[in-house]
Chain A
Amino acid sequence: MAASAAFEAVQSELERSANMDRWNARGAIQLALMDAGLEASNVTSAQMRVVVDRLLPKQLQSQKIADVPNVCERIRGALALLGDDSRADSPEKVFQRLGS
């Protein structure tokens, strides 16, 4: 299943800034997303920012990544470059519309 642009951006930044390989980076993000109740296929950049602030540092520390605050700062920068990706449909948005 294809991952969202926000997921791909965080993965690329982890590979670049933390020297993680593709699968370790994806695994760390997936675990953080699971803790947040989010899915790789439709996570938005706004949601990903919360994950980076609140959950990803723990995952990176458990993988012994050096200078986690700096890595997370670079990830925030990469997410800020993304356009508005909040228009894509998700179960949450559908159920919000259905009852409004």
Chain B
Amino acid sequence: MAIFSLVGLVIYTLASGIVGVRLLVRASRSHGLPELLAGLSYIGAPAVGYPLAIVSSQMHDRAFATPMYVVGETLLVFGCCCFLFFTVKVFRPSAQWALGLAALGSAILVWSGIGIVHAWLTYTDPLEVAAHAKAPLAAMVAVLALSYVWTALEGGRYWRMMRKRMALGMADAVVTNRFFLWTLSGLTSVAWISVSAIMLASGENLARNPVNVSVTCLGGIVNTVFLVLIFMPPAAYTRWVQRSARAPELATA
């Protein structure tokens, strides 16, 4: 279980790092805010923040683990906040309610991060840390789950719209498919975060529980596939999507 968790964590970390760096490079060329927010999100949370928090929570040397844990949690919260604002900037750029929702979600995430780090700094016994971090961790898990539900809903809504555009010859099949993959990615995250919520409710330590770490990493690997297909799709996949989109047209021609 520990080896599987480690392998999953490494794959997820590497893939998120590559996608994040590519997005940041693209942002530096295009000066696009969505690219910047998505890049910071993938670098901050899955590529650096989450692995740092997980690895440091397994270490026995507190002098070494504490700065890693604080940096990890800070980047995790920062990445998740960027993700919320990415959703707003892309799907609801002029909706005040969406901006307010992202700001509220970010405030709860920051409060959760502070609470979790405070518990780590105050107590040394892992059981005590887990007990005192439970409330802020529950809030963080709830906000994360809701943010991915939001992601899946927006992705699904736009995917349906893009299919209608495709029928009128106004949309590209590959871009339409990206919204479908984005929806699946959101749903995968909702599934794995739900497992974390169940574990948390049953009193488990999320960072040390091997089932939770494994499920998170499995979700991460599945999400990695989606990330690659969305952000750096292989030519063969792109050709397959275009061929599949043309097939009904050819059949009725």
Q: Hey, which bits of chain A sit against chain B, CB under 8 A? A: 1-2, 35-39, 41, 47, 50, 54-55, 89, 91-92, 94-99
Contact for B26 among A36, A91, A92, A97, CB less than 8 A: A97
Contact for B30 among A1, A2, A55, A97, CB less than 8 A: A97
A18 to B230, CA, bound (A): 44
Query: Is A99 a contact partner of B32 (Cβ separation < 8 A)?
Result: no
Interface residues of B in 22-44 (CB under 8 A from A): 23, 26, 30, 32, 34-35, 38
A11 to B156, CA, bound (A): 29
Give, as a whole number of angstroms, the nearest-CB distance from A31 to chain B: 13
Query: Is B230 a contact partner of A99 (Cβ separation < 8 A)?
Result: yes
Look across to chain A and name the residue whose beta carbon is closest to the beta carbon of B162.
A37
Give, as a whole number of angstroms, the nearest-CB distance from B97 to chain A: 11
How many chain B residues touch A (Cβ–Cβ < 8 Å)?
33
Number of A-B contacts (CB under 8 A): 71
Give, as a whole number of angstroms, the nearest-CB distance from A50 to chain B: 6
Q: Can you list 27 residue pairs at the A/B interface with Cβ under 8 Å?
A: A2-B94, A35-B164, A37-B161, A37-B162, A37-B164, A38-B170, A39-B161, A41-B94, A54-B168, A89-B32, A89-B34, A91-B179, A92-B158, A94-B32, A94-B34, A95-B175, A95-B182, A95-B230, A96-B175, A97-B26, A97-B32, A97-B35, A98-B23, A98-B230, A99-B230, A99-B231, A99-B233
Give, as a whole number of angstroms, the nearest-CB distance from A80 to chain B: 18
B132 within 8 A of A: no
A96 to B178, CA, bound (A): 8
B2 within 8 A of A: no
Query: Is A96 a contact partner of B230 (Cβ separation < 8 A)?
Result: no
B62 within 8 A of A: no
Which has the most chain A C-beta neighbours within 10 Å: B34, B94, B174, B233?
Answer: B34
Query: Is B91 a contact partner of A98 (Cβ separation < 8 A)?
Result: no
Look across to chain B and name the residue whose beta carbon is closest to the beta carbon of A98.
B231
Contact for B162 among A1, A92, A97, CB less than 8 A: A92
Give, as a whole number of angstroms, the nearest-CB distance from B58 to chain A: 34
B165 within 8 A of A: yes
Give, as a whole number of angstroms, the nearest-CB distance from A9 to chain B: 18
Please give, as numbers and ranges, the residues of chain A lying within 8 Å of B174 by CB-CB distance. 99
